[in-house]
Amino acid sequence: MKSWLGLRSDGAELERLIGFAEEFANRHDLPEGERARLLIILEELFTNAVNYGYPDGGVGRIDVALAAKEGRIEINFCDDGKPFDPLSHPLPDLDRPPADRPIGGLGLPLLRSLVDEGRYRRDRGRNHLALTRNIPQPG
């Protein structure tokens, strides 16, 4: 069963997104660690879209769909912000001393470490990101 939420590209909408994700996690009895990972992924995607996808300050639309299927979570995140593929964007050089790196930029490595599969496409003026996270089975 797929759950869907439409949001404005406004930081105030983060609270609605968190509530949506928590309700999804409860409905599908996700283990506590998976709930936390899902929230991290969605918060990172949403915050990046809001902060960087609309540089002129305009308000756009962000759509999030979640599904739980046979040991995995599927996340579809779409926005009408500027084109950006978080899966192919260069990662920061983490071997450089922190003082020699620009501030920020750690969200993408974190995001990539939390998903098992990802696909990006730009279609009709929208970014479409499909992510899959496998849920380890206990035992």
Range of the domain at 42: 2-134
Q: How far out from the chain centre does Cα 40 lie? A: 8
The first and second tokens of residue 2, run together, are 């797929």
The first and second tokens of residue 98, run together, are 């922190």
pLDDT score, position 96: 65
Please give the tally of structural domains in the chain.
Answer: 1
Does some domain include residue 96? yes
DSSP 85: -
Does some domain include residue 125? yes
- Cα torsion 116, 70, 26, 9: sign: positive
The residue to which tokens 């098992």 are assigned: 116
Does some domain include residue 115? yes
pLDDT score, position 62: 98
Does some domain include residue 84? yes
Arithmetic mean of pLDDT over the chain = 88
Taking residues 22-26, report their average pLDDT.
97
What are the pLDDT digits (tens) for 95-132? Answer: 667 666 555 555 677 788 889 999 999 999 999 999 99
Taking residues 37-60, report their average pLDDT.
92
Q: What is the pTM of this model?
A: 0.87
Does some domain include residue 139? no
| Domain CATH for 52 | 3.30.565.10
pLDDT above 80: residue 17:
yes
What are the pLDDT digits (tens) for 64-92? Answer: 999 999 899 999 999 999 999 988 866 55
